[in-house]
Amino acid sequence: MPSDLNHSSTTPRILIVEDDAEIGAMLRDALSKNGMHAEVATSGREMDDRLLAGAFDLVILDVMLPGEDGLSLCRRLRSETSVPIIMLTALGEEVDRILGIEIGADDYITKPFSTREVLARIRGLLRRAYFSKAGAERMRPLRFEGWRIDPLRRQLHDPENTRISMTTAEFDLLLAFCRNPGKILTREELLTLTHAGLAGPVERSVDVHVSRVRQKIEADPREPVLLKTVRLGGYMFTANVDAG
Amino acid sequence: MSVFRRMIPRSVSGQIAAIILLSVVLVVALGRVGGIVRHSQFLGVYAFESFFEQIAAIGPLMGKLSAAQQDDLASLMAASDLDLAIVDPAEAERLAKDANAPNWIIQAVEMLFPPDDELPAGSRLFSLPAATLILVPLDETSVLAAYGPARPLVSNDVLGPLSYYVLAFATLLVLFGRYSRWAFLGPLARISDEVKRSNGTEEGRLASGQGAPEVLALTEALNQMRTRVRGLLDTRARMLRGVSHDLRTPLTRLRQRIERLDDDQEQRKMLADVEQIDRLIDETLDYLRADAAGEEAERVDVASLLQTIQADFADLGSDIRYDGPDHLAAMIRPSAMLRAITNLCGNGLKFGSRVIIVLSRVEGMLRIDVVDDGPGIPRELRDRVMEPFFKAVPTRTDRDRKDGFGLGLSIVSEIVAAHRGRLTLLENRPCGLIARVELPE
């Protein structure tokens, strides 16, 4: 297994675009220590040069940059490639815009961040990208039984168009079900599909999150119709899911 | 219409002068019409008044004549359409009794608008259905009974000068009433309505609409003030945002450097400090956001929102419960309300050991109670804790790490106010605090 990890094709190549030289360097070191190849660009121009010189699996982009800012770079990058983008922001309030259609980043991290958090986000995003290359297609809203789930805005609306609030883990879980309707999903598969989402400081079992999702989408959570438990197997989402 | 409009003076004093002028012209014109009516046969005013005048002249004269001369004069006057008769007092009383007592309208008219001339002393006037009877006592044995045209409801006086004054007054009153409503009251009411409705800082302007130029100027001045207030708030927000942002870059460096340290214990302490600074920055930004209230309200399942907050706290290991319906939709700003209730729960768990979130519907209001079992807040401090930067508990070293700027409850209060709701702090029994958020549905 260690030989696998060291193999050049499995070493993720990360491009960090950050104007603060020290933050860039420390981030690069932290990623290198964790088996990734990382390079730092301090401006949009430098980012373009690096991207021309070699392919990257993921770009970490600071919002505040001299010259062309991170949001504009992200928009431009998105129109050209499907490379996963994580934005670094010092202001939490930009998040909706960052993840929205307009900017189109895949994820964000707020400063000051911990190395652990950055690694978790990078791994989660790389895994997602590995499972499905068509990122934009994946972020399309889905419908089931009149409900609407929007992966991009991370919003769920019921048939009366009332917004239903969910925790991150609940949302990731429901999204995983919606993307795999009619399939039996084991607890292990669900953990993989929802990547880091289910791992909080207190690890709840998948079952707890499933029962919370039922609480929100089932007419009678004790008699689930949409989200069925399969004996010895796991769970199955019974609704018809359409794009839209 | 546009010519007419161009003739309206621009200033309030000019408009008032124009209204007075208009009333004077109107009154003079109406007075002239009144005069013409008075001297025409129309309404029978002239006939009655001349009959009355004649009796007023003949009465005293007859009193001085002998009985035979009185009869002669009566028959003489008959030629000029005057129906006169000399009767004895008994006969006169009978005639008076036959003429029914006039109803109160006639009485009122007679009192308000007496005929122009005075009758001889002791004379009595009776309004018969189609005529007027005047009895004038001549001496102990004879009474002059004169029949004339029916008394018209309008007398000379009605069409005379007194009416002018009443009319002029009424005209002025009506014109001024309409004018003030158009120029002042309407626009002022609209402006105060709009000012009350807005929080004074949002984009957009007060509608100017029509009204006196002075009122329009007031609207413009208010608009300018709003722009200035908006500008000040924007500057403050930009400054705080800038400061927060600039703090976070060195903080990020610091955090990265700390993560490279070998000393585990020192590292943990330093990270805790970094996290506290970060929380303070978060709090400031939250406060700015609560202030700006930029988020649109939408239909949200409040029950699911509270359950989400409960689940997030529970996953961090807190003892927190949700008590309420599975679903309850209302129009709210979801991110702002999430922040507000999260703040209240965070407070409750900071000072107490367990928290219950209760959702209910009371008297058409949505009620969210965040109940804790902490020490509570003394009654006299409950209003002050909602002020920004106020802390009820003096900062102690052990509590230091958990403490923020004291913006938490102000953020909640701002958010609740932006929802036109109410935040009250109540006592929980046996101990603790109930933070009650009430929202209109």
Segments making up each domain of chain B, as ranges:
2-39+161-185, 42-149, 198-292, 296-440
Residue B393 vs residues A113, A137, B284, B342, B397: alpha-carbon distances, Å: 31, 52, 20, 20, 12
CB nearest to A162's CB, from B241, B300, B312: B300
pLDDT at B205: 65
For the cut 80, the answer to whether the pLDDT of residue B377 exceeds it is yes
What is the model's pLDDT at position A4? 35
Q: What is the dihedral of CA B217, B220, B222, B226, to 10 degrees?
A: -170
Q: Which CATH class is domain B198-292?
A: mainly alpha
Which of B278, B282, B315 lies at the smallest CB-CB distance from A200? B315
Lowest mean pLDDT, pick from A197-201, B56-60, B76-80, B230-234: A197-201
CATH of A140-243, one of 3.30.70.1140, 3.30.1050.10, 1.10.3720.10, 1.10.10.10: 1.10.10.10
Chunked in runs of 10, what are the mean pLDDT values of chain A (244 residues)? 41 92 92 93 92 91 87 88 87 69 81 89 80 61 93 88 91 91 88 62 72 92 91 88 83
Query: What percentage of chain B exceeds 70 in pLDDT?
Result: 81
Burial of residue A231 (number of CB atoms within 10 Å: 0-12, 13-18, 19+) = exposed
Neighboring chain B residues of A158 at a CB cutoff of 8 Å: 301
Most confident range, picked from A123-127, B78-82, B93-97: A123-127
For helices B408-418 and B334-351, what crossing angle results, to 10°? Answer: 150
Closest CB from B248, B254, B301 relative to A158? B301
Please give the distance of CA B389 from its chain centroid, rounded to a whole number: 37
Name which residue leads in pLDDT, B422 or B405.
Answer: B422
Query: Are the beta carbons of A30 and B259 separated by less than 8 Å?
Result: yes
Judged by a CB distance cut-off of 8 A, whether residue A138 touches chain B is no
pLDDT for res B310 = 96
Residue to mutate among B239, B246, B249, with most A CBs inside 10 A, is B249
Query: Nearest-CA distance from A199 to chain B in Å?
Result: 10
Q: What is the dihedral of CA A133, A135, A139, A142, to 10 degrees?
A: -20
Higher pLDDT, B185 or B405: B185
Q: Measure A133 CA to nearest chain B CA, in Å.
A: 31
pLDDT at B398 over 60: no
pLDDT for position A132: 54
Nearest to A62 by CA among A24, A104, A118: A24
The interface pTM score, or ipTM, of the predicted complex is 0.71
Nearest to A163 among B260, B301, B316 (CB): B301
Residue of A nearest to B305 (CA): A165
For residues B261-290, give the mean pLDDT: 84
**Distance between B311 CA and the closest CA of chain A, angstroms:** 7
Provide residues of B within 8 Å CB-CB of chain A: 241, 244-245, 248-249, 251-257, 259-260, 274, 278, 282, 285, 289, 298-301, 304-305, 307-308, 311-312, 315-317, 326, 329, 334, 338
- Shortest Cα–Cα distance, B329 to chain A (Å): 7
At a CB cut-off of 8 Å and minimum separation 6, what does B168 contact?
A: B23, B24, B27
pLDDT band for position B189 (50/70/90)? confident
Pairwise CB contact (< 8 Å): A216 & B304: yes
Give, in order, the Cα–Cα distances in Å from A61 to each of A26, A58, A76. Answer: 15, 10, 12
Contacts of residue A30 in chain B, CB cutoff 8 Å? 256, 259
- Give the pairing type, strands B354-362 and B365-372: antiparallel
Report pLDDT for B207: 64
Cβ contact A165–B338 (<8 Å) = yes
What span, in angstroms and rounded, lies between the C-alpha atoms of B335 and B218? 37
| Distance of alpha carbon A215 from alpha carbon B303, whole angstroms | 11
- Domain topology for B296-440: Heat Shock Protein 90 (3.30.565)
- Contact predicate B347/B380, CB 8 Å: no
Please state the three-class secondary structure of A3-47 as a single string.
Answer: HHHHCHHHCCEEEEECCCHHHHHHHHHHHHHCCCEEEEECCHHHH
A50 to each of A54, A82, B175, how far by Cα in Å?
A: 6, 16, 80
Beta-strand pair A85-89/A58-62: parallel
Query: Which of B245, B253, B301 is closest, CB to CB, to A162?
Result: B301
Structure tokens at A9: 């094709």
CA B136/CA B72 separation, integer angstroms: 17
Band (B397; pLDDT cuts 50, 70, 90): very low
Q: What is the pLDDT of residues B329-372, one digit of tens each?
A: 999 988 889 989 999 999 899 889 999 999 999 988 999 999 99
Is the CB of A90 less than 8 angstroms away from the CB of B334?
no
For chain A, domain boundaries: 2-135, 140-243
How confident is the model over B207-224, as pLDDT tens digits? 666 667 777 788 888 888
Q: Which CATH number fits domain A2-135: 3.10.20.90, 3.40.50.2300, 3.40.50.300, 3.40.50.2000?
A: 3.40.50.2300
**Which pLDDT band, with edges at 50, 70 and 90, does B41 fall under?**
low
